């Protein structure tokens, strides 16, 4: 692993935080649910879903908050899928994504999630 890759891994480890609320991840092109957000940073996130996600693919996603007030609008992002692995119990899939397109407003909302 190069020093650049090592520094990215270190940065990711410091900034990625588990989410404390239920956030559903939906494919905006198909309307299909991909799963629930597990952790997130300004650079990317991991989700847990019931189906495999194609690696090295581009998606337009919506992060939808599951709250009683309904006041939080979804975060809209463009991402690249980096990897997908079956869970140990072989019933779900872990998937990692890199954020490639996000509005300034939604980026600020992601920052608030990571604090």
pLDDT at 47: 96
In this prediction, residue 71 has a pLDDT band, given cuts at 50, 70 and 90, of: low
pLDDT at 112: 87
3-113, CATH topology level: Thrombin, subunit H (2.40.10)
Domain ranges of the chain: 3-113
Mean of pLDDT values over 52-66? 95
Least confident span in 18-22, 69-73, 108-112 = 69-73
Mean of pLDDT values over 56-79? 87
Cα distance between residue 102 and residue 115, in whole Å? 18
Q: Say yes or no to pLDDT of 15 above 80.
A: no
Q: Which among 83, 33, 86 is positioned nearest to 63, based on CA atoms? A: 33
Mean of pLDDT values over 77-89? 95
Bridge partner residues of 45 (DSSP): 40, 97
pLDDT at 38: 94
The model's pTM: 0.82
Mean of pLDDT values over 27-39? 96
pLDDT at 6: 41
How far is residue 90 from each of residues 8, 26, 36, measured CA to CA in Å?
A: 29, 22, 17
């Amino acid at each position: 692993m190069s020093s650049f890759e090592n520094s990215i891994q270190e940065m990711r480890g410091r900034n990625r935080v588990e989410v404390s609320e239920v956030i559903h991840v939906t494919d905006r092109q198909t309307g299909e649910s991909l799963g629930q957000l597990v952790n997130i940073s300004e650079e990317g996130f991991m989700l847990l879903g019931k189906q495999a996600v194609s690696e090295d693919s581009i998606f337009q996603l919506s992060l939808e908050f599951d709250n009683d007030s309904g006041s939080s609008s979804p975060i809209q992002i463009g991402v690249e899928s980096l990897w997908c692995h079956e869970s140990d119990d072989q019933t779900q899939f872990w998937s990692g994504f890199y954020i490639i397109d996000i509005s300034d407003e939604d980026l600020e909302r992601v920052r608030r999630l990571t604090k």
